[in-house]
């Protein structure tokens, strides 16, 4: 993914800011209210940063198995997983506890570096949202910058 899809200020934050600040910058840029950054370690996704995730949900997303929930599916499929409305989704892609975030428009993208999965970036809006291909590409570019850190 090309980081040219991102403004310079966001690129700088993704490269240099502490991970929590970088995640907050991603949320602000994409108009989101909540997000997570999971890193791949020992065959599972481990929470490295979170913004505005309720404590009961945080406890459940500390470790995410590959293939479980939208983050785990993004890691397994190596492609973005999006839900227009997490609260009403019946596809089975999201874990039931994810509704505890109160978020609706959710997107999880795999973070790839040199063709290898390094983690998953998840962002969400408080309202329903159909993520466009351009938005998915831009969020994927942000995830790739984080993966290269």
Domains for the chain: give ranges and CATH numbers.
3-147 (3.30.450.40)
33, two tokens: 């209210």
Q: For position 137, what pLDDT does the model report?
A: 97
Q: For position 100, what pLDDT does the model report?
A: 77
Residue with tokens 């009403």: 88
- How crowded is residue 117: how many other Cβ atoms within 10 Å of its Cβ? 18
Q: For position 50, what pLDDT does the model report?
A: 98
Residue 5 or residue 122, greater confidence: 122
Tell me which DSSP letter residue 61 carries: S
54, two tokens: 């309720």
Interval 49-67 mean pLDDT: 95
**Mean pLDDT, the chain, as a whole number?**
93
**pLDDT tens digit sequence for 65-106:** 999 999 999 999 999 999 987 788 778 787 777 777 888 899
E strands of the chain, at which residues?
34-41, 44-51, 63-65, 81-83, 106-113, 116-124
The answer to whether 83 touches 5, Cβ cutoff 8 Å, is: no
Tell me which DSSP letter residue 33 carries: S
Q: For position 43, what pLDDT does the model report?
A: 97
Entry pTM: 0.94
- pLDDT-above-90 percentage for the chain: 82
């Amino acid at each position: 993914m090309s980081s040219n899809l991102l403004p310079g200020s966001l690129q700088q934050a993704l490269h240099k800011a502490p991970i929590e600040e970088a995640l907050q910058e991603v949320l602000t840029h994409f108009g989101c209210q909540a997000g997570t950054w999971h890193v791949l370690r020992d065959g599972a996704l481990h929470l490295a940063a979170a913004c505005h995730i309720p404590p009961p949900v945080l406890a459940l997303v500390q470790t995410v198995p590959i293939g479980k929930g939208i983050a785990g599916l993004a890691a397994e499929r190596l492609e973005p997983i999006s839900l227009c409305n997490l609260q009403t989704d019946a596809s089975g892609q999201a874990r039931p506890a994810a509704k505890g975030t109160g978020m609706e428009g959710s997107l999880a993208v795999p973070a790839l570096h040199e063709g290898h999965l390094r983690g998953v970036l998840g962002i969400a809006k408080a309202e329903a949202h159909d993520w466009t291909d351009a938005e998915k590409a831009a969020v994927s570019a942000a995830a790739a910058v984080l993966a290269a850190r």
